[in-house]
Structure 1
Amino acid sequence: MPTRTTIYIFICIFFLLKANDSSAQKISGVVEDAITGQSIPFVNVSFGDQKGTVTDIDGKFIIEDLHSLDDIRFSCLGYYPILLKNEDINPFLNIRLHPIQYELDEINVVPGENPAVTIMRNVIDNADQHNPSLYQPYSCILYHKMIVEYDMPEEIKEEELPQLMNDLGLSKDSYLMLFESVSEKRHFKKGMDKERILSGRVSGMKNSTLASLPAMLQPFSFYDQYLKILDSDYLNPASNAGLNNYYFQLLDTIVDNKGDSIYYISYNPKPTHNFRGLTGTFHILQSDWAIKSVVAKTAGSNKGLSLYIKQNYQPNNEGLWFPHQLESSLEFKSMGSSQQLPYPLIGKGKSYVTAINTKPDFTAKDFDNVVFEDATLAQTSPDVGLYRYEPLTARDSLTYHLLDSLGKKAHLDAIINLQLSMIKGYLPAGKFQMDIRRFFDYNDFEGFKVGLGLYTSPKMSTKFSTGGYVTYGFGDKEWKYGGSLFLTPFKREENRFIIDYKDDVFATGELSFMDGIQKNSTEMFRGFLVETMDRTQEIKLGTEFRFLKYFKTGLYYRNATVTPQKRYRFMVTDEIAPAFDFQEASVRLKWAHRETFTNTALGLLSEGTPYPKVWINATYGQWEQNGTSDYQKLETQLEKTFNYPNAMYTNIRLQGAKLYGDYPSTFLYSSLGSYKSFTIFIPNSFATMRLNEFAAEQFSAVYFSHGIPLSLNTNRRIKPEIVLSTNAAWGEAPEGVSSFEKGYYESGVYFRNLLSNFIFRYGLSVHYRYGAYQLDKGIDNWAFKLGLEFAL
């Protein structure tokens, strides 16, 4: 009878043999690019009678069904296929595919229904079952990792590489940059999502300011009609509009070990259709008509950038399909049309979706309109290593070691923080910050102006900000100054109290709304064209806050003395209007249904909304000049942009305002025009109307523009755009004021993005004035302008 030790040894041997037997019953391996050595995701691995599998995002595969296995075929779009004979098959295979070095032949369309289109139509018909945006509440954790390096040409000789790397200041054993971050994604229902960066690390930096970059490069799923990529909307081939704008081709069909057919389909934008498109492949699982994997590359570059994304999907135990692995490759070729990098910069990122929870413990109250938030900016975050999906490689570790040391010596954190502050308009100075906009400015009334603005920074306190400014205008030869206090005791920066004092000059007859001009919008250049201003001493008290998620409002009280500085062009009389005092209370409201925001190191940034935006201002006031009189103002604005599958768009802005009661002429609306002999093009203004040429106590205006982008699916840095526009306005004014009650009309064309550099894009516009207020001299009805827009 065997002893206990003998039985124990026997059992161990039995399981060891069982394990060896099990491993012998399957084949695993990895597929790599024969030139670069990089793994190739989503390669078709087929054997037997159409049986097969697909490599995952890391190029790995496993074959478990070895019955009648005579050979294995490896194939992928863009590579020469390989057929592996039985005698060459081992338990572990390292397959190297050679890329095809020539362009694909012209596509030939044959009569009859394209089978690939039939398959894609089934995918679209079943999309609601597989779209994570339509699922019930769930949460998951994502680990993101990105490395940045130069994309070296293949023709560089091996012996030349060390010297070249040295010339570029590189090490062959480390990367240029390494990012890691971990985020939590929460979903309640369609339109109610939030992703929070929980932890991050960036090589060379102490803080994780830029760690959120890899998480922002690609969409979480591939089922919406438009996919937000590189800050632009790309038409999804897996959509009804995509069926009409893409060409699909069925490349292969394989059967997995469960007997399900997997269709391998390529897609490309139709050459005669101009839209923001993608090119790539799908793997479609027939049993569910679900996207099993997708490869997509932007068809052409966008602002010098090209993005290559790969997504792998798997069903969970409940049959719900979620992305499992996400990969991105961001290529940055230049810093503008004339500033080329020595070699393209490549950012290669991977994201892994883990800890999917379909029964999370949160409610709708836990969601606001901030859909992406970097929580590491406001608190000390845990070490990213606690969440790391895969261990660091030797090259990863060396990158951190070298760059952290170099970053400390070069004060990289300080440099990055300086750049971020300057983008937001400030120059940091310890616990204070200087307002860059006060350093140097210009307008037609003050001429060139210089000054200084100094305010407290978040380093002193995130609950309040105070400071002031002083400026001097060389045109009017006058000093101006002001000071303010902002109290922000709430969680959101938008909710604040305001105390403001100014002794300054302000444009006559302006119409403004809460957050009416977006950051980096061309409309901000309107201030350069002001030629009539009023000296104003005022104190303002107010509060601004957001309520009901999509409403933002402001309540204000102003007490001021206004002294006009020159004759108003719209007045018949040559006299300068007398000074007066006024006090008023006003409420401003902005409603943007479903507007969403991202909260990053650059602050709270709007992601826009597909719905119309509405603004309303209501004011009651009293003014004194030889007696006291009451007045009221009601001002409204509505704006909506319509986007089309072919990337064309239409923007419509409607404005209306009315003055009631007795009021000074200074309050008349007179700032609709933006004409100068040759100046900057200002959208949503009348390009042919002279500055303060007309005024109105009540008016309505419509601004219509239609954009036609060109050369979208090309690699050209310059992608021109034609913008057709028509503007019209009708106004009424009291006697003695030039107005436009008969209707003011103009039309024009703006040739956008004709030239560009890293900071600006340039264009040209021409507009023509017609109707009752057409001028006698023909050339005076034309306006020629330079287009100037921020490229970032």
Structure 2
Amino acid sequence: MSSIETFLMRYSYLLFLFLLTSFVFGQTKIKGQVIDFDTTIPIAFAKITYEKTTVFADWEGKFSIEVTDFKKPMYVRYKGYYEKPAYASNDGNLFIIKLTQDINKVKNEYYSLNKVNHIVKKVIENKENTQPERALNSYEYKNYEFIQITANPDSITGEIDKTYKRNIFGKRIVKLDSTNYKFKKLVENSHIYQTEKVNLIQHQNRTNKETVLASRMAGFKQPLYEFLGLKLISYSVYENPFEILEIPLQNPISNYGRKLYTYHLLDSTEIQNRKVYRIYFQPKKLRANRLRGILYIDAQNFSVAKAYYRIYGIVNVNATYTFNYLKKENIWFPEKRKIVLSKGSNSEDLTILGGTMKFRSSLEQDLDNNASDRTVLILESTPFDIKINQPLKLKNDGIKIYVPENSLSKSEKYWGSIAKDTVDIRKMKTYISLDSLSQSSNIERKIFLGKKIINGYLPISYVDLDLRSIIKFNNFEGFRLGLGAVTNDKVSEKYKVAFYGAYGLKDNGFKYGITPSYLLNKEDETWVSASYSDDVNEIGQTTFATDTRRFKVYDPRPFNISTFYNSKMASAFIESKILPKTSTYFSLSRNEITPLFDYTFINNGQSFTNYNVSSMQFAIQWNPFSSYMQTPLGKIEIEKRHPKFSLQITQTIPEILGNDFDFTKVDFKTFYEIPYLSGQKSSLLFQAGIAYGDIPLTQLYAIAPNNLNKDAILRRITFAGKNSFETMYYNEFFSDKYVSLQLKHTFNRINIGYKLNPEFTVVTRMAFGSIDNKENHVGLPFNSLEKGFFESGVECNKLFKGFGLVAFYRYGNYQLPNFDDNIAIKISFSLDLGI
């Protein structure tokens, strides 16, 4: 044997090791993600081929693959998209591949395999036996929940950035930006914000109650009750609609949801020694911002054993539900719920609880370490002390959440024994730092003021100043200067006195009113009041006594009204929320009415130029789909769901206090609003009224006109109302019975540039009406609405500094001969209080 052969035999293993090492180090593992080109939504289970290797992306569009030559392409395929060759780079960043949809091939709907559809169908059919709210007679458990706004300090660069600019003389100057440095120091020490609560969840016979046992919010001695009722995501995976950020979505395990989603059976696995199917679901319209996720379905009882949900869009949502199997009851009971919110694809800030969170799209991984892009909101809730099928007694009183006063002052020892999360050093520092910040910035006082202002009041010592009474304008009074106020809790929690005085510069008339009130029941907010006023009112106006009072800088419609009547009214009334999910009002009143325009009412051969009306009125607003919280301060509507209904009945009282007429009025309205996760919303407002008997023009229906009777379009430019008919002229129509419908859709704000961010709304309005005995009303000519009134338009609101422009066009049977007379152009104004 030669020396060469001997050398090769001895060192052949070294040669093999050298060749193997060269091969291994010639490969590089690339991590990537496949997303839609236009929406940046991940494309689940896309097929990636590189030479002879094929891998599939996971349900978030992510994959990893070995690459030996970066000059060779990998090919990415997915149904409904163009095949794309993609060249990776060896820079260590996540490799983003954007696929473009093939419009010629994509289909709105396609069907999954029969097997997975059968499994989903069984899940829906078995809800009565598997959904805890249906399968169990009763249950209760305590739930520890915390919400944090935070960021990972390791993801934020602590460097102080330098920017270079030139001054007017051309000299280069250096500016330092320490934002990231300061933010990193903050989140290394504490979270940005946090709040905790412990609540008792009880269920019996499909009635659910929640009682807050303890709560605390960083920076607040008294909690914001509205925040205690914040529902970022549904408690149950079976709820339909399934809610995220209080936006209703069709649940993928509902009958209608099966029409919107497609399902893919991935494989099977085990959870707690039980076989479960892993099923991925996504919208049939791939680019829709609906839910995507994975459901783990028990192979024996077809219940949900685990669930992941994702939404990509304006807000990116990652939610996880875990369950524990109860062998005796044969159901999966909630074990933990976690949701993480981050900024999505829009350019505006996501705001919660007065704190602003700024993000970019989480799918674009080649971003710098800007601090604001790393902020997230985390909600986590953990049930404990679970009791199943034990006797409970729950009142069906319309209250979803109770907040006892003793839940607001739990000791640190209590929180130490109750917290169910892992040790978090930053948590206690957050309470200390935010409590100090709150005191130094007087945050609680600012929020208290904000809540008052949004209802139209400014607290000053012992009274709350009525902001809407200071200055007004209309064509009859001209500028109306006034002062109004109501006593607050510093005077008494049981009594209050509201009063106002005003003077019209054009009519030289003084108006005033006073209303003392007494609180009968704090829990139900039952007030009994008496009132006297001497004032002027718009003719034909319909107001609902149960409507909530909201702040307005001005009321736009009265700017151009010139037909008023003087009203001297004395009344006694009671307001209450004693009935579940309602606000009620009942009054007895006497009203001396004097029309302040040329008008005579002919009734039974007798002429009236002024008259007395004694009446009783009952009004109720019912919000059957809303949820309410009972707090030490009263009831709060925490989940404002639609539709809402209002009914009002007015009946004169014959031969009482000089009453001149006998008539009845019945008014009804319903409002329905549909919000979308994209930020857009649609709404419907339906109103109807009927008045029969001896009813004068001042009490008829004018249906909120808002157009001046002038020739040129530009001379008719005024302020637009909220729900008024912009092309209907004042005093053009009156009815004793009517129906009206208003449809609106509001799009997202558009960033034009130069601080112009308009919000566009398309609107259609229509009304039908009629009147009996029109000849009894003398002095003011008008028409009726038998043929139907129609107008449509576009609102460009919030164009600049709250101001905008709206344009409406009148059409149909009451269209006017001159084209210009059917057009109304108005100015709109929206005040954003930032609350």
Structure 1 residue 431, shift from structure 2 partner = 4.5
Paired with 2:758 and 2:260, the residues of 1 have a C-alpha distance of: 23
Structure 2 counterparts to residues 746-761 of structure 1, below 5 A: 746-751=789-794
Structure 2 counterparts to residues 611-650 of structure 1, below 5 A: 613=645, 615-621=647-653, 629-639=660-670, 641=672
Structure 2 counterparts to residues 370-381 of structure 1, below 5 A: 370-376=399-405
Paired with 1:106 and 1:674, the residues of 2 have a C-alpha distance of: 49
Counterpart contact for 2:684–2:744, Cα < 8 Å: yes
Task: Determine which of 387, 396, 418 is the counterpart of 1:367.
Answer: 396
Paired position in structure 1 for 2:820:
779
Paired with 1:743 and 1:213, the residues of 2 have a C-alpha distance of: 50
Q: Percent sequence identity over matched residues?
A: 19
Paired position in structure 2 for 1:314:
324
Paired position in structure 1 for 2:809:
767
Paired with 1:718 and 1:237, the residues of 2 have a C-alpha distance of: 35
Paired position in structure 2 for 1:44:
none
Paired with 2:480 and 2:390, the residues of 1 have a C-alpha distance of: 57
Paired position in structure 1 for 2:147:
146
Task: Determine which of 659, 675, 698 is the counterpart of 2:707.
Answer: 675
Q: Deviations over 1:267-311 (max 9, x none)?
A: 2461476xx62233333332232222333344422xxx5544322
Unpaired segments of 5 or more residues in structure 1? 1-33, 36-73, 84-97
Counterpart contact for 1:199–1:376, Cα < 8 Å: no
Paired position in structure 1 for 2:215:
200
- 1:230/1:402 Cα in 2 relative to 1: closer, same or farther (>3 Å)? same
Paired with 2:409 and 2:335, the residues of 1 have a C-alpha distance of: 29
Task: Determine which of 675, 688, 693 is the counterpart of 1:660.
Answer: 693
Task: Determine which of 338, 347, 350 is the counterpart of 2:377.
Answer: 347
Structure 1 residue 699, shift from structure 2 partner = 1.4
Structure 1 residue 174, shift from structure 2 partner = 0.9
Task: Determine which of 672, 680, 684 is the counterpart of 1:651.
Answer: 684
Paired with 2:236 and 2:154, the residues of 1 have a C-alpha distance of: 33
- 1:240/1:616 Cα in 2 relative to 1: closer, same or farther (>3 Å)? same
Give the SS at the match of 1:217.
coil
Structure 2 counterparts to residues 599-614 of structure 1, below 5 A: 604-605=636-637, 607=639, 613=645
Paired with 2:321 and 2:200, the residues of 1 have a C-alpha distance of: 18
Paired position in structure 2 for 1:694:
733
Structure 1 residue 640, shift from structure 2 partner = 6.3
Give the SS at the match of 2:419.
coil
Structure 1 residue 246, shift from structure 2 partner = 2.8
Paired with 1:703 and 1:253, the residues of 2 have a C-alpha distance of: 52
- Partner amino acid, structure 2, of 1:138: Y
Paired with 1:447 and 1:494, the residues of 2 have a C-alpha distance of: 37
Structure 1 residue 617, shift from structure 2 partner = 0.5
Which is worse superposed, 176-185 or 213-222? Answer: 213-222
Counterpart contact for 2:706–2:721, Cα < 8 Å: yes
Paired with 2:551 and 2:615, the residues of 1 have a C-alpha distance of: 31
- 1:767/1:314 Cα in 2 relative to 1: closer, same or farther (>3 Å)? farther
Structure 1 residue 553, shift from structure 2 partner = 3.7
- 1:665/1:729 Cα in 2 relative to 1: closer, same or farther (>3 Å)? closer
Counterpart contact for 1:146–1:180, Cα < 8 Å: yes
Structure 1 residue 685, shift from structure 2 partner = 4.2
- 1:624/1:265 Cα in 2 relative to 1: closer, same or farther (>3 Å)? closer
Give the SS at the match of 2:256.
helix
- Partner amino acid, structure 2, of 1:200: S
Counterpart contact for 1:695–1:733, Cα < 8 Å: no
Paired position in structure 2 for 1:130:
130
- Partner amino acid, structure 2, of 1:217: L
Alignment size in residue pairs: 688
Counterpart contact for 1:705–1:723, Cα < 8 Å: yes
Paired with 2:830 and 2:246, the residues of 1 have a C-alpha distance of: 16
Q: Does 1:262 align with 2:262?
A: no
Paired with 2:441 and 2:746, the residues of 1 have a C-alpha distance of: 46
Counterpart contact for 1:582–1:623, Cα < 8 Å: no
Give the SS at the match of 1:780.
helix
- Partner amino acid, structure 2, of 1:533: F
Q: Deviations over 1:209-233 (max 9, x none)?
A: 2684585221111223322333322
Structure 1 residue 690, shift from structure 2 partner = 1.4
Structure 2 counterparts to residues 409-428 of structure 1, below 5 A: 409-428=440-459
Give the SS at the match of 1:395.
helix
Unpaired segments of 5 or more residues in structure 2? 1-30, 33-56, 67-91, 162-176, 359-370, 709-715, 751-756
- Partner amino acid, structure 1, of 2:219: G
Cα RMSD for the two superposed structures: 4.6
Paired position in structure 2 for 1:188:
204
- Partner amino acid, structure 1, of 2:372: Y
Task: Determine which of 511, 526, 532 is the counterpart of 2:542.
Answer: 511
Structure 2 counterparts to residues 691-770 of structure 1, below 5 A: 691-696=730-735, 698-705=736-743, 707=745, 722-735=762-775, 736=778, 738-741=781-784, 743-751=786-794, 764-770=806-812
Which is worse superposed, 537-546 or 276-285? Answer: 276-285
Q: Deviations over 1:157-198 (max 9, x none)?
A: 6687986232798352111212111222233334x3332333
Give the SS at the match of 2:333.
strand
Structure 2 counterparts to residues 288-303 of structure 1, below 5 A: 288-301=301-314
Q: Deviations over 1:526-582 (max 9, x none)?
A: 5556443223232210113356535654321113333333446999xxxx9844444
Structure 1 residue 154, shift from structure 2 partner = 5.0
Counterpart contact for 1:732–1:740, Cα < 8 Å: no
Give the SS at the match of 1:489.
strand
Paired position in structure 2 for 1:330:
341
Paired with 1:723 and 1:516, the residues of 2 have a C-alpha distance of: 23
Give the SS at the match of 2:662.
strand
- 1:193/1:742 Cα in 2 relative to 1: closer, same or farther (>3 Å)? same
Structure 2 counterparts to residues 423-438 of structure 1, below 5 A: 423-438=454-469
Give the SS at the match of 2:733.
coil
Q: Deviations over 1:90-110 (max 9, x none)?
A: xxxxxxxx9965367579998
Counterpart contact for 2:116–2:265, Cα < 8 Å: yes
Counterpart contact for 2:727–2:823, Cα < 8 Å: yes
Which is worse superposed, 376-385 or 581-590? Answer: 376-385
Which is worse superposed, 520-529 or 173-182? Answer: 520-529
Q: Does 1:120 align with 2:150?
A: no
Give the SS at the match of 1:240.
coil
Counterpart contact for 1:498–1:543, Cα < 8 Å: yes
Q: Does 1:358 align with 2:388?
A: yes
- 1:705/1:182 Cα in 2 relative to 1: closer, same or farther (>3 Å)? same
Which is worse superposed, 235-244 or 643-652? Answer: 643-652
Paired with 2:332 and 2:555, the residues of 1 have a C-alpha distance of: 45
Q: Deviations over 1:620-640 (max 9, x none)?
A: 146999x86232222131436
Give the SS at the match of 1:488.
strand
- 1:121/1:202 Cα in 2 relative to 1: closer, same or farther (>3 Å)? same
Give the SS at the match of 1:223.
coil
Task: Determine which of 146, 155, 177 is the counterpart of 2:193.
Answer: 177
Structure 1 residue 655, shift from structure 2 partner = 0.7
Counterpart contact for 2:309–2:320, Cα < 8 Å: yes
Which is worse superposed, 522-531 or 555-564? Answer: 522-531
Paired position in structure 2 for 1:46:
none
Which is worse superposed, 555-564 or 717-726? Answer: 717-726
Give the SS at the match of 2:420.
coil
Structure with bigger RCO (C-alpha 8 Å, 6+ apart): 1
Paired with 1:77 and 1:249, the residues of 2 have a C-alpha distance of: 14
Structure 2 counterparts to residues 464-613 of structure 1, below 5 A: 464-516=495-547, 526=557, 530-546=561-577, 549=580, 552-567=583-598, 578-591=609-622, 593=624, 595-598=626-629, 604-605=636-637, 607=639, 613=645
